[in-house]
Structure 1
Amino acid sequence: MNLIISIIRTLFRHRWLILIGTTLFTLLVIYYTRHMRGGYDVKATLYTGVASGYNLESDKRTDWATVQNSMDNLISIMQAESTLKRVSLRLFARILIKGNPEKENDGITPASYNYTYNHLKNSPPGDEILKLIDKSSEDKTVANLEAYMRPHKDNYIYGLFYYSHPYYSYGALKNVKVQRRLTSDLLDISYTSGDPGIAYNTVSILMHEFVEEYRRIRYGETDKVIKYFEEELKRIGKQLRAEEEDLTKYNVQKRIINYLDETKEIAAISKEFELREQDALFAFNSTASMLKELEKHMDNNARQVLKNMEFVDKLREASNITGKISEAEAMTDSNKKDLHSLEGDKKRLNELKQELNALTTSYVGHKYTKEGASRTNIIDQWLEQTLLYEKAKAELKIVQSARRDLNNRYVFFAPVGTTIKQKERSINFTERSYLTVLQSYNEALLRKKNLEMTSATLKVLNEPTYPIGANSTNRKQIVIAACIAIFVIIIALLVLVELLDRTLRDASRTLRVTGYRVIGAVPSLSTARYGGLTRTYIQLSVRELTNSLLRFLSKRKSPGVFIINLFGTSEDSGEDIIGTLICGFMQSRKLNTKFICYNKDFDIASTQYLLARNVTDFYTPQGEDVLIVAYPPLSKSSISSALLHDANANILVTPANRGWKTIDKQLCEQLMLQLGKSNVPFRICLTNASREAAEDFTGQLPPYTLLRRFSYHFSQLSLTEKIIFNLRRKAKEAEDEDDDE
């Protein structure tokens, strides 16, 4: 509780510091915010169509997670650094192109133009950059600025965006607020700037750059995919055509029209020739056996006929014609010319048969053989069998030759079929790859078309409007906050100093810091702060101090006098002054009082003092009733325990404006060890005390004005005490005391 009271008193004592400090700081804030103006708000609304727009890629169900992701992407793109950088460059270019130093033009104020132009003109590369400004084209100017920008701290355009420019920096532009309106397709964009033209043009440019940036990002991905698929389609298509042409060339080279049909036809022909070979072989063997049997029954005359040259030639000719006929009949693709030749051969064969029969008849001598067989029939049968034999022989030869050709065809067609299948598989694989890429290409085109539709739905629903009036400033709130903040800071500092400061100052703090009670507080004699009232303050303080000391004078000590010991912990503590004042006040009250001081009335270096058991060992009393002894500082010389015990009161005199140091604490602790459990009281007397510290012992000091009375009662926390009706009485008492003196 004492600490709280001490803090309150401290704050009240420094009330003028708190009030004046708070007032001055508040006035400074008011002065420096005198040019503060409200910002200009510009708002716009963008319709995205993400949630409710038509989509070619999805069904009728809405994926809200995808919708939220798309909205977040739109907001992120709008607030992206790359987007804001393009906004900064275009805004900078527009201000320099369309701005006018004397009048507003297209929403660009003269203030923003002059600030931008002067800032650029006064920079080192100002003239160089001004040459990049193309008054006829904003796009060309932006392109020139982008080409000029380099990531270097000395590059003006680069620093324009990355330093702290109020219009074009990233720090200023990132204050653009983008927020989705509930769960709708609408985005609310707002921006506040100190210049109305800057705010308006910033939002207007942002709308345009956002749509372009969105298209660049989305179309960039899709266009790369489409370009890839187009290149793949060209490559695979070229490969497919090459493989098909290669297959065609191979078929032409191998004379293949339809491999499957041709192989089936060859298989059928092979089977047919196999049957014909069997028939021909059977006929050949039958006729050969028949000829051998007929030749057994021939006589010599018949054999001579067979050996006749004419007969042999005709028989050879008949055999050749029979072979030709058999070969011609074996061919399935004979034309008309071959058919005419075949008819001629058959006719010639018949003629030869008749001629051979005639020859055989002319050479036959006997009609019958010994066995009774007709020779004419044998020759005829032999001739017939011979012709059949030749025919079977020719047919067998032809069939075997055809079989060999068919075998060669099998050898030819076997690898051709494998190669054709390989080529067809390769073509099939390439064709399926082509179709797959074509499908992906169509999907990419569909996605691009969907993006075009999505981008088409990005429309500015509410265009940004040029602001006419500025917003109300928060200057009042700033001033109030500054006033409260400095007020709290000053109080906090004072409280902190109060808690940490070890300056004695007044009775309550002295008791808290030292642990010893205070008996009185006397103002300084040399202070001019209180003017003519200083003497009155000292008299009242000394009177109260003396009255407190008289309460301890209950028993005379060994010399038969009352003894009051005064000492300090260091020099200039004021014990000599206090002793003189107390002695003078007691003498004014008709008390026989004597004040003695070290180095004047006794020698602290003498043996009598150092070994003294009481005052009479170094001073001879002269019949005094009260003896006030001022001892040397405890830091220079010690006081014997006997002298401390042989006293009515031990008073430690110390200035109120001096801090309580560690050495002071140690000296007092040693002193208390000397006193031990003695009944001799030990108190502290404060010198150089303030009026407030003295009033803790004397009560309110003059003047007794209403303000002083109120201040005193508030410092004493007498908050409900009546003070007005006691003013005249207190003033009269003060006048009476002055008259008595």
Structure 2
Amino acid sequence: MSFSDALQLLKRKWLLLILVPLVFGISTYFFARHLPKTYSSDTTLYTGIASGYSLTGNAEANFNTTSNAFDNLINLIKARSTGEEVAYRLLADHLWQTSQQPALQAAPEYNSLRENVSEDMRKELLGATPSATLQNVRRYAQANNTNALYWLLNSNDPTYSLKALATLTVSRIGTSDLLRLEYENINPAICRQTLNLVTQVFLQQSRGLREGQTSSVVAYYEAELDSAKNRLTAAERENLAFNQDNNIINYDEQSRNIAIDKDALNATLTTVRQEYEGAQAVLQAINQKLGNKQAALLSSSRVLEQRQKLSKLNAALADQQLFNTQKEANNAKAKELQAEIDKTSQAILSNVNQYNDQANTAEGIPNANLLAEWLQTMILVETNRAKLNVLTQRQNEFEKEYRRMAPLGATLKGIQRKISLAEQNYLAVLASLNASKASQKNTQFAGSLKVIDPPNLPVTPKTNLLVLLLLLSTLGGFVFVVGLVLGLGLMDKSLRNPLIASRRIGLPVAGVMLDTHALATQRFIAYQQRSLDQLVHQILLKANTPPAPVPFVVGVFSVQRQEGKTTLCQALAQRCHEMGVQTLALYPDREDIDETLEAPSLFYPSAMAAVQGWQLDKLIQNAVPKRMTEISQPNVQVVLIEFPALLGDALPVGVLRQLNLIFLTVPATRTWRPTDHQIVERLRSATNAPVEVVLSGVELYQTEESLS
């Protein structure tokens, strides 16, 4: 549906668009004329959420956080628990005030108390103090869901019910830190008192909620901190015990020193081994030069004893020189050992000289020189042998130390990792605890809400609710009618206008016939004449286009009966006759036609024509004239034949092949069904004439576009 179609549809229903809103407005006025006046009071609270000051400085401007905080406050104000507490306090205040000043019971603000709370219940709820009265009211209302106070709280009472408190509205003022609370009631005093109580209850609940949350968090982190501290202490104790058990001062330093000492030991061992092997080779060569006699002499018991002593002294000196870390003691001991070694060497040399009875060796070398060389080499061999033994022993000790230290490192790293994790956990919990305590203090110092504008006592009512209801009801009636009309128009599946008919039927629309039941205004008659002339011009154009047969035969069909084909056929025949075109109209059977028509007309027996398969000549010969002047068939230019309905009636198929044009009349008020499409397709297969649609019963506004 286009916009112009919608406007036309609304234009046709102008009476409904006026009457329905008018009825709605009158009904609203009749039923709402006695509504009580409504008063409104408001208050303003400062929150400090967006730009307030806290322990950490100015509040950070975070849109999501700020919006969430304001949403929490607004929802807390409008929570059921807040409303119930306000109702309890309002009722308790009224009970206490009327008990202290009985004359107040006649005041308008105590109407609900007089009407809904019996005298016996008032005595039962009244306490010795206002606080005791409030406790009695709260306990009585929460005892069960069948007592009178519970029902009063959930009723439609304008003072003490949750429904009355539903008129409370809360909104943020722009992007500021301010909240505006507004409450409406039929009594101005109740309005201000209720808003005061709402503010008190809300501030108390907000403070308790915020501080309660932070207290719970602080308690949780304190417990977690104790647990983390115990785990850290246990890990440190385990580390201390492990180091004490394994004599570890600094594992990394100790392992590095052992590695350095081991490398130095290996290098020294290699050097000493080389010197030892070299000296031993030299000693062996000297022994060969001395011969057997001298060798036996040098192997005597006294010399061997002195050589063993020399070996021990060299071993002790090597141990002092290589591994003793106390420098002063090492120097004194080394000097002492070196003196003993020199003394022993001289003793060996003296013993050897005593047995020196030969001047020369077998090679002619003096024995005195060889013995001196032998003694020096022998001392070098013994010295290197002693060093080699000491270094080998120390190498074995290093290997044992390596095997001992290797697994200790892995265990120690595990203990250190445990300490590190426990320490990190402890520090994280400690940081969270400090942040929670800071947040708790920040909540206490900076999170308190403040009343900027206390609730005022309204003296004039708000805008008259009756006027607003009248406007809303009238507008609602108008919107309802518009929606109903447009909705029905959208759901309308009828053909309505030529454009829709052409799209749904799938055939070209030759023209339209206006609704004959419409008011025959001058505009209607003009459009009807134009639409008829359009159809006649199409017939004449095709009849005069060579090679056009004479006469030009036009068939008028409809799918069902009473779809306007007789009216169309009569109108076309009359218009052609008025234009001077020799026209003959044939109608099935003896249906009534307009007696005022001047166009020649014949009636043929449709059943006989269908059975006999008459062609046009036979059809005319057997037709009965109803209004005929002298007709000469060769002079007839246009023949209009109305056929029976396609659905259910027999057709004179003999004439179908002689048709030159077919007009299919379809009412604009009907829908196009698949069965209609099948019937038309069978008609198109039975004739070669083009089939065009004439939309009948079209409303005037639907034809303006097609005839403009």
Give me the TM-score of the superposition, normalised by structure 2. 0.53
1:386 and 1:148, CA in 2 relative to 1: closer, same or farther beyond 3 A?
farther
Q: Give the whole-Å Cα distance in 2 for the aligned partners of 1:301 and 1:325.
A: 33
The aligned residue for residue 44 of structure 1 is 43
How many angstroms does 1:276 deviate by?
1.1
CA RMSD of aligned residues (A): 4.4
Residue number in structure 2 paired with 1:329: 321
> 1:710 maps to which residue?
none
> Which residue of the partner structure matches residue 569 of structure 1?
none
| 1:399 partner letter | L
State the shift of 1:398 in Å: 0.8
Structure 2 segments unaligned to the other structure (5+ residues): 1-29, 471-708
Aligned residues: 441
Partner SS for 1:297 = helix
Equivalent residue, structure 2, for 1:672? none
Distance 1:384 1:186, change over 3 A: closer
- Equivalent position to 1:174, from 155, 166, 172: 166
Quote the Cα distance in structure 2 between the aligned partners of 1:348 and 1:340: 13
- Tell me which residue corresponds to 2:294: 302
Asked whether 1:256 is paired with 2:255, we answer no
Contact 1:301/1:363, CA 8 A, preserved across alignment: no
Structure 2 counterparts to residues 362-511 of structure 1, below 5 A: 362-434=354-426, 436-437=428-429, 455-456=447-448, 458-465=449-456
Alpha-carbon separation, structure 2, partners of 1:369 and 1:185: 120
**Alpha carbons 1:100, 1:113 under 8 Å: kept:** no
- Residues in 2 aligned to 1:162 and 1:248: alpha-carbon distance in whole angstroms: 70
Kindly indicate whether the alpha-carbon contact (under 8 Å) linking 1:85 and 1:170 is maintained by their aligned counterparts in 2: yes
When residues 42 and 342 of structure 1 are mapped into structure 2, their CA distance, relative to the original with a 3 A threshold, is same
Q: What residue number does 2:508 align with?
A: none
Shift of 1:242: 3.3
Does residue 281 (structure 1) correspond to residue 269 (structure 2)? The answer is no
Verify the 8 A CA contact 2:321 2:330 in the aligned structure 1.
no
Answering whether residue 342 of structure 2 is matched by residue 340 of structure 1, we say no
Moved over 6 A (4+): 36-40, 55-61, 63-66, 108-115, 472-477
- Counterparts of 2:202 and 2:55, CA distance in 1: 23
Give the letter aligned to residue 167 of structure 2: N
1:298 partner SS = helix
In 1, are the aligned partners of 2:39 and 2:462 still within 8 Å (CA)? no
2:92 corresponds to 1:93: yes
Q: In the superposition, relative to structure 1, how do residues 290 and 90 fare at CA in structure 2: closer, same or farther (>3 Å)? A: same
1:542-553 paired onto structure 2 within 5 Å: none
Q: Structure 1's 228 and 296: CA in aligned 2 closer, same or farther, altered over 3 A?
A: same
Tell me how far 1:444 sits from its aligned partner.
5.1
1:101–1:113 CA contact under 8 A, matched in 2:
no
Per-residue CA deviations over 1:1-59 (Å, capped at 9, x if unaligned) read xxxxxxxxxxxxxxxxxxxxxxxxx9x999xx8xx986665442333445554589999
Instruction: Give the Å deviation of 1:367.
Output: 2.7
The equivalent of 1:311 in structure 2 is 303
Q: State how far apart, in whole Å, the 1-side matches of 2:299 and 2:211 are.
A: 103
Measure, in 2, the Cα distance between the counterparts of 1:76 and 1:312.
109
Q: Distance in 2 between matches of 1:344 and 1:69?
A: 90
**1:328·1:334 contact (CA, 8 Å) conserved in 2?**
no
Instruction: Name whichever of 434-443 and 279-288 sits farther off.
Output: 434-443
Matches within 5 A, 1:70-149: 70-97=69-96, 99-102=98-101, 116=113, 122=119, 129-130=125-126, 133-135=127-129, 138=131, 142=134, 146=138, 149=141
Provide the residue aligned with 2:201 in structure 1.
Answer: 209
Map 1:578-593 onto structure 2 (within 5 A).
none
**CA 109–226 in structure 1, closer or farther in 2 if over 3 Å, else same:** farther
> 1:423, CA displacement in angstroms?
3.6
Distance 1:134 1:286, change over 3 A: farther
Q: Which moved more, 1:316-325 or 1:432-441?
A: 432-441
Match of 1:520 in 2: none
SS of equivalent to 1:461: strand
Distance of aligned partners of 1:411 and 1:98 in 2 relative to their CA distance in 1, 3 Å threshold: farther
User: What amino acid is aligned across from residue 360 of structure 1 in structure 2?
Assistant: V
Identity across the alignment (%): 25
Are the aligned partners of 1:301 and 1:365 in contact in 2 as well (CA < 8 Å)? no
Match of 1:272 in 2: 264
Residue by residue over 1:532-571, the C-alpha shift from the partner in whole angstroms, topping out at 9 and shown as x without a partner, is xxxxxxxxxxxxxxxxxxxxxxxxxxxxxxxxxxxxxxxx
DSSP-derived class of the 1:246 partner:
helix
Q: Which has the larger radius of gyration?
A: 1
User: Separation in 1 of the partners of 2:392 and 2:57?
Assistant: 72
Inter-partner Cα distance in structure 2 for 1:352 and 1:53? 97
1:327 maps to a residue whose letter is D
Query: Structure 1: which 5+ runs fail to align?
Result: 1-25, 481-741
Residue 372 of structure 1 aligns with an amino acid whose one-letter code is: G
CA–CA distance in structure 1, aligned partners of residues 123 and 403 of structure 2: 89
- 1:356 — aligned with what? 348
How far 1:361 moved relative to its partner?
A: 1.6
Change (3 A) 1:342 1:49: closer
Partners of 1:256 and 1:321 in 2: how far apart? 34
Residue type of the alignment partner of 1:396: L
Summarize deviations over 1:202-227 as a string: whole Å, max 9, x none.
22121111122233444455554454
Matched letter for residue 257 of structure 1: I
Distance 1:299 1:180 in 2: 122
Partner of 1:698: none
Question: 2:48·2:447 contact (CA, 8 Å) conserved in 1?
Answer: no
- Give the conservation status (yes or no) of the 8 Å contact 2:32–2:466: no
Seen in structure 2, the aligned counterparts of structure 1 residues 242 and 149 have a Cα distance that, compared at 3 Å, is farther
TM-score (ref. length: structure 1): 0.50
**Counterparts of 1:286 and 1:327, CA distance in 2:** 22
Could you tell me which amino acid in structure 2 is paired with residue 83 of structure 1? T
- What is the CA-CA distance between 1:407 and the residue it aligns to? 1.9
